[in-house]
A and B are shown apart, each in its own frame.
Chain A
Amino acid sequence: MTNVLVCIKRVPDVSGEVLLTEDGMSVDARHVGFTVSPHEECAVELATQVADATGGSATVLTLGPSDGVEQLRSALAVGCSSGVLVEADTDRFGPADVAAAIADVVRAREAAGDSVDLVLLGNDAADTGDFQVPVRLAYALDRPVLTNISSCEVDADRVIARGDGPDGTEIFEVPLPAVVAVLEGGVTPRYPSITGRMKAKKAPIDIQTPTVEPRGSGRVRLRVPPPRSGTVEVLGQGADAAPAVVDLLVKIGVVSA
């Protein structure tokens, strides 16, 4: 029976141009929707799989604004059974602060008799891309941590995890409790069913306020990189453009004349 805590982050769903707030300290998300990163969708899927396979539970946690309930409900619709919202201004929280706040939640649950055997997270957040919350969380909890993991399963008191390394697929076996950071590519996140959505509406969400005094991320400002100068040169339309394309390949030097 493995109790899994999976951590997700509400991020702006930017697919085109990024706009910044006037003070340059945040992404202006007024005109876009919100989502979680593909890594985290896979972490939620793995949390559900582990909970199902072991007869345990999957709890989903997010740290951020109250609107993060939307992302919690999405995870609750695909198999997580309860949610935790740690309500905080993410702009004031650096990765070490986020890790400390999650560690507090884990310790409080364990003190109350609810074990947290496996913590799953995405490898990096889609917006801040810090690549360190899972590792810092593991240090805060004094637990082993794996990152860059594509798939994992629990066998008795160990987690067996796989990830792509420089020489092939690497296999790890780590004793529980542990922290695992997930990369997309190993599992396919399921779509929510109608009953899943109904359950998600009624699932309990525990709203908490962090006691961590944040040190911040060190952000000075955000900037949008300057667009590439120059305009695109259209070589032609359809198949007729082929000779012009090959001329260009010769000019660049990737094809010899």
Chain B
Amino acid sequence: MTKRILIIDDVEYILEFEEKVIESIKSEADFSIVIDKASTILDAKELVDLNTYALIISDMNLPDGSGTEIAKYATSKDESTRVAALTIYPQRYEKERAYFDAFFKKPILPSVFKENLRLLLGI
């Protein structure tokens, strides 16, 4: 079985960082993981149209809008997609909670992020 993960962030080093953290827990899973990356909502929507994602991790503050937009779009296409938000200020998005499975606080650190990924992916 393969689980596809989409990570969305407009800051290049954070995107690379997230990718490395996901790569580092790959060996713990009894399924294979494929990672896609996007820096804008537009790019992310194109990828959502093309693929089925087990998990989407999106920054909330993207250049062309909010992470909530991609959360709504992805879950309307596939209800089983789990969506996590990454934000510096989780308390600012109380009203958007319903669209996400989790809110992760930025800046992320490997140990904490790994643990949250394990929970979301059921590893």
Same complex origin of A and B: no
